[in-house]
Chain A
């Protein structure tokens, strides 16, 4: 078995073990509460493979994907931006309000809304960045605090400044409606479900993030700072600059998390606006091992599971069992990754030592 192949096989252990464990534990839990796991999974598969389910899955996966990207950029540098939740909600609120306040030709209007969202997200994340750089405040605690502050601040702004006057039968507090030039028409209608166009932008974003991290010099500095901050510093990467820039980029991407929903469905920021996407994004980044492709797969898997599980209510099975499923996936991926990484490294050292010895012997033979 060639070395390369053996290494690839080892890495495959990560997703495989996750899936196996997830199914296994979920089945056990289902059995424990007196349900039949096989029929439950079968229903899920049947429901989840319907056309409208698949479209819905993609729609749900898009914001998760963007959230995963935002978090992953930080993770790659050992910077934990847990604040994506607050960043995206504040960004969605302010960009919706800004979008409703202007009228621009269609592509510009959309771009404008996105830019505002990115700016707000970047700014909010930047606060944590500055606190870390200037005062050494650990970004996990500061971003989490900023999440709650964002909730309060957002509620205040919405209630006092940004809300639209309520009509006679309206109860839902929301910002003013974004005019048609600021809305994105659906990409296609499949199985009766709109496929939101923002998915294209998300894909482009994924490509941009990949290019940024693996093809630019900034990305090199970023990864080096995550792998060995001392060596990165000695190579010229300014740690403070890196932290600040990374937080800003992470926040800017986080700002876009809510755009799919905003452009494709809501067209205003309401109290109904999806929450929790930030935290789900963290889970997706962890499971996706901080790589745009992995994150895409993870986002799709998690969304699909969420969607497919909706059928369970009709069968009398508590759909919350998939929370356990997702939880097990997260935990097993994270642990399996460590185990496999060590195994792969040991394997690399061994094969390199063998090949080196072969090279040395050849050299000696030549010299003799």
Chain B
């Protein structure tokens, strides 16, 4: 086979941020009109690499060449001019604009300043048809389903003449039919000579669609392989760097006592059921895991459990007491802990010192506050001394790397912020802990430590609801594992025997389970 010159070549790319080396001497070579996947774990450096390729970040070292020419990108504009287009994981779309307006923004066809709507519409329809990406230019983006919105992002880059497409975790928000649709589109595009770089951590999909796979781990390029030469398990090992942990056989700590009972919980969102008929129990000493692609109702479930959203259907019982209409504060006080998915948005007061963050969610109870009359009633006075002591305890026990309890939360790295949040919830000895992505963004060592803490707590009787995108975490920790899809629990699997591939198929709806 004749050696083709790569369309895109990254050599020796290095990029450091304060405290972390994101890319260390990374090499990537992409052949023309191939679908090249870049795989790696969260935090392995894939996103940083792609941001550099797209001109959003400048590398500290290394070179980029496109079609054989060395290039220097100062901003996305330069990358766009070089024919590179990026479809972000979190879509950059204006929901109130139409498809047309979103696509042409910044490169509008105009006659003396006035928008040439007909011209734009024609061009979009043309692109849409020739590349097999069906779109109606006049629909408002807000009305579009997720898969359609992704197509808007794709047409956006095609409109600007992109011949090299970077897709950042494109399937993380899609349901199975949409994933198939996307792959069909990608093959069409490839047939028209478009080069595609596909970033993902979903190994089964990568094996299905890619022509070539580069594995990145801890900021390094580990290997470049062809899908026909590897199995998913081998890929996973390349990604993680060691043998995959097998779920350990251990004494089950699950008791008979039901701590949290969810019955037919339902939440309506804009006319459709975001959550429907969800029922499960969590016993003392049990970890119930819920696996699912992001956006299938997990957020609504967590919000309903925490009292941040009123369910439209169903009930929630804590130790036999119906708490469905209790306000958030009461649920917290009675022992429901919460590790939010978005730590900066929902879990921290960034400008505030750590001791005030340690209080968040627990400000009405000991040791953070005292009652008005000699320790009676709900906390009235803030107990600074108590808060400081507790925070120091927390810092020590959960290994939060920080100068002290008076440091502002924003000065902590993401991983340490997460450790603080996990610690603050667990140290309060809750009856039930609702954990959404509890080890997101933590380095592997800290992740293992957190898992240990969780196992200890479970042995002491904690009931935990684990919602995670990390299959390894779910399999390793859960006693009972459900799969959520489109707001419903569609499968219940045994974590001891299920494989990641099986789980993935349930999560994407490729396989349907008979579920009682």
A→B interface (CB under 8 Å): 214-221, 223-224, 227-228, 230-231, 233-238, 345, 348-353, 355-357, 359-360
Contact = CB atoms under 8 A, between A and B. Distances in A.
18 contacts: A216-B381, A220-B359, A224-B352, A227-B352, A231-B348, A233-B328, A234-B347, A234-B361, A235-B362, A235-B363, A236-B327, A236-B333, A351-B411, A352-B403, A352-B411, A353-B18, A355-B402, A356-B413
Interface residues of B, number: 45
B364 A236 contact: yes
A237 B380 contact: no
Contact of A234 (B306, B356, B381, B410): B306
A231 B308 contact: no
Contact of A348 (B348, B380, B408): B408
Interface of B: 18-19, 306, 308, 327-333, 338, 340, 345-352, 356, 359-364, 368-369, 378-382, 401-403, 407-408, 410-413, 416
Nearest to B379: A217
B18 A350 contact: yes
Given A216-B382, A357-B19, A234 B363 contact: no
B360 A231 contact: yes
Nearest to B368: A217
Contacts of A216: 380-382
B299 to A, nearest CB: 12
A228 B345 CA distance: 7
Given A224-B349, A231-B346, A356-B401, 4 more contacts: A235-B360, A236-B331, A352-B407, A352-B408
B338 to A, nearest CB: 6
Contacts of A234: 306, 308, 328, 338, 340, 346-347, 361
B408 A219 contact: no
A182 to B, nearest CB: 31
A210 to B, nearest CB: 13
A227 B351 CA distance: 8
B411 A231 contact: no
Nearest to B360: A235
Most chain B beta-carbon contacts within 10 A, residue among A228, A233, A237, A348: A228
A349 B410 contact: yes
Most chain B beta-carbon contacts within 10 A, residue among A217, A227, A350, A359: A217
Nearest to B370: A217
A238 B329 contact: yes
Contacts of A353: 18-19, 411, 413
Contacts of A349: 18, 410-411
B382 to A, nearest CB: 6
Contact of B308 (A214, A223, A233, A351): A233
A64 B264 CA distance: 57
A228 B350 contact: yes
Contacts of B413: 353, 356
A228 B346 CA distance: 8
Contacts of B362: 235
A49 B329 CA distance: 54
Contacts of B306: 234
B349 A219 contact: no
B246 to A, nearest CB: 27
A291 B348 CA distance: 23
A352 B412 CA distance: 7
A230 B363 contact: no
Contacts of B360: 224, 231, 235
A244 B361 CA distance: 21
Nearest to A224: B349
Given A349-B410, A360-B401, A236 B380 contact: no
A219 B351 CA distance: 16
B367 to A, nearest CB: 13
A346 to B, nearest CB: 10
Contacts of A228: 345, 348-350
Contacts of B359: 220
B410 A345 contact: yes
Contacts of A233: 308, 328
Contacts of B380: 216-218
B361 to A, nearest CB: 4
A341 to B, nearest CB: 8
Nearest to A359: B401
Nearest to A350: B18
Contact of B381 (A215, A345, A359): A215
A232 to B, nearest CB: 8
B402 A352 contact: yes
B199 to A, nearest CB: 28
B410 to A, nearest CB: 6
Contact of A230 (B346, B361, B369, B401): B346
A133 to B, nearest CB: 15
A175 B455 CA distance: 73
A232 B296 CA distance: 25
Contact of B19 (A227, A236, A345, A356): A356
A359 B361 CA distance: 29
Nearest to A214: B382
Contact of A356 (B340, B347, B379, B403): B403
Most chain A beta-carbon contacts within 10 A, residue among B328, B348, B362: B328
A227 B410 CA distance: 13
Contact of B369 (A217, A223, A355, A356): A217
Nearest to B332: A236
Contacts of B378: 217
Given A217-B363, A236-B364, A356-B413, A231 B345 contact: yes
Nearest to A341: B351
A223 B350 CA distance: 12
B361 A348 contact: no
A216 to B, nearest CB: 6
Contacts of A359: 401-403
A352 B411 CA distance: 6
B327 A238 contact: yes
A233 B361 CA distance: 9
A352 B331 CA distance: 35
B412 A236 contact: no
A235 B362 CA distance: 7
A345 B402 contact: no
